[in-house]
Amino acid sequence: MSRVRLSTRAALLVVGLAAALTHSARVDACATCGCGDPTLTAMGAEKPFRDRLRVSLDARHRTDDIGEPGVDEIRLRETRLDAQLAWAPSDRLFLMGTFPALHRTIRYVNEGETRTTAMGDVELRAKAFVATDRDFAPRHLYAITAGLKIPTAPRQRSETDGTYLPIEAQPGTGSWDPLLGMSYAFFARPWSFYASVQGSMPLRGTSEFRASPSLRTTTSAQYQLSSALALRLGVDTRLDARSYEDGRPERDSSGFIGFVSPEVIVSPLMDLLVVVSVRLPVVQALAGYHHEGAVLGLGFAYDF
């Protein structure tokens, strides 16, 4: 695997971070919705080598129906593209930035429709490997992850009257959200196993909106069929607390949802990974009127 100097990699990381930083609705469109471990494509489950640099693109499409049908229901269709940059300054630390772009279509019960395309909120994370069973080719890896979601998404205005669009049409929540998690990985070739738990605690954001505190888990098993092909099957869950808008709790927020997540991982070229995934909701115990559809994903990652 080719490498470049540490100073070059650090410069690339800094440039990437700098570039990405440069009607009222009663229901919210679940700004915290989604599932899965957001670090897997960019960081992987394995221990990094020092000075590793990985660039990845992760595209996802999801649907979300919130509100009482025929009364106040909104239907969200979202396509999201995450550009991710991960760099390992040592063999025990990974630094990652996620820079999202979103396209949202919101359909209201009165047949009205809102479309927005914008950059989303940037997420910065650090993953530290705190324990291993051995330095070379470890079988057991324990790590902790800390991060922050930054309110970099621009507030969107109506093209007709210039007023701010409702929160469900905004590409971000306008809040600073601390992120904290831990993970465990086990390797027994050709098998590998991975488990993680990640929590977020959003602060107050746009229009007195406070997104749901959320706890997400991922458990997966991967089988390496060959050097170029692997299959992974995971179970992803999300547990949400109430969200608030204008100081009032949202009826259609909070609850639990679980997904079964099959994935195919292909390496057509050295240092290039392609990940095709679908996440199917099999348990929906969300409060109020709230239904989430499948999440379709396509990811690319390249190591320098």
* Closest CA relative to residue 172, chosen from 144, 142, 207: 207
User: What does the alpha-carbon distance between residue 85 and residue 20 come to, in Å, rounded to a whole number?
Assistant: 11
Query: What confidence tens digit (pLDDT) does each residue in 42-80 have?
Result: 677 777 888 999 999 999 999 999 888 999 888 999 999
Identify whether 69 is preceded by a cis peptide bond (ω within 30 of 0). no
| Confidence check: pLDDT of 235 > 60 | yes
List strands edge to edge, sheet with 248-249.
Answer: 209-210, 244-245, 248-249
Query: What confidence tens digit (pLDDT) does each residue in 183-215 have?
Result: 999 999 999 999 999 999 998 877 678 888 999
Say which DSSP state 39 is in: T
* Closest CA relative to residue 268, chosen from 219, 227, 223: 227
Burial code (b: 16+ CB inside 10 Å, e: under 16) for 158-193 equals eeeeeeebbbbbbbbbbbebebebbbbbbbeeeebe
Q: 6-303: what fold? A: Lipocalin (2.40.128)
pTM above 0.85, yes or no: no
Neighbours of 249 (CB within 10 A): 13
What confidence tier does 10 reach under pLDDT thresholds 50, 70, 90?
A: very low
